[in-house]
Structure 1
């Protein structure tokens, strides 16, 4: 006779306070008074995590800080030096926004985050603060040299995305800070960018490997290259050796070698082995660079 599966322990009571500040200073004051507050934006990461905790009898957050009413969290705008993407911008908004060519990489990733419902609710700020190694938004933003804006009652600071993300579910955000925006510098010239994702299916899937790239062309040569690989390390990684090799070359002149991906650290898990991920990353990098060499073949 099979042993029955033990039922999870049952919570006696649940009491979660829902706070909805109307301004950013009000939200920051609430967070300063209680840094244990759980920020809430789209909820597409928070809800599944809390449902699992509840099912096994673990404590739910005592209070939720709902950021949906803060005007500073919404909108996509440009000034003289950069684009400012509000942390509450959804994947659907990024997918449909009239952004310049270098954002093709982020637009393509936005089309592959979950399904339509996730794209309508999930936010770019939540994706970054959740800090999953398989976060689809991270490699495109690394390729775009993005930074994050963090606000608290102590002031506002800006960090390069590569310094904000510390590891699996770990960021540089202090307990009294909120991520308010993603900042992307302006670029000029012949810019081409793209995104490749490998998963068990096309939608509603956690990435096995993903690759994002942006290149700037001058007189038929690659003047600048930025390539990032996700789901192959605790944090998505740029490929500096390959980027350096590509500068000054014509598309297709530089062979992508396994050694240029040596610093990646893919793991074995339920979706793939580390060896498979490493080989797949090499294939996707080669495929994406070949596609960027023919801009007319790009599919947004």
Structure 2
């Protein structure tokens, strides 16, 4: 049985929900659509999606709380959708664990491009502590293949995949549209089993999407993992916020594409979350250093083992 990509859409607006279902279906996803936050969290637990889109204004719990709850058990890519465009709203969304924040109205083509860029980042498939039992395969019979993988910047990434479960009563499942991606994942050099980057008690396993500090597992979002791996592979070389912004969205670091102040602020928020999870102080960093006015680098040169 081939793997299938599953997306959960949490949106109370009928028109936007229908648009997201159609857009993601055309991109090769099997879509589970819900109209409130509670059902959205339940669907994310049951179907183990690779992607979750969350509306900020929901009738029961808001999108921030939905994101915080799903982050307890999944490392799925989370895109927050909202009509609010203030910087504080964006920062609160990212701080809750979202990977991207898109304001309405949005252009469907741009949304698809942003989602495909996210899917090229590493993903382990589960957060530590999540139930390891695999859900049963949906009987729908459609089998969209996972998106092709790509290597952006200096960070190898494997194409994600997911296995959906049998739909719960009352939760609609939309099969992926025909004509979606057909090529399977391509192995990326440098991700052999056992490979790790090691720096002063911090260990990162690229092929496993796994990070430990002195034997303690650190659950990271895909964006946090990507930033940490980029910095560890760069060692003492400083990476600017502009470069890191491009890497986050799937571009080459020297691509030349426009990076806004909000994009750079997003990098700051993600790195702040990363440092907090690692227990690393920005004033006296053990691992991630800020080079004021330039960017970020590691406090030492990580060893490549394996």
Please, what TM-score do these two structures have when normalized by structure 2? 0.30
Name whichever structure is richer in strand by fraction.
1
- State the structure with more CA Rg: 1
Please, what TM-score do these two structures have when normalized by structure 1? 0.31
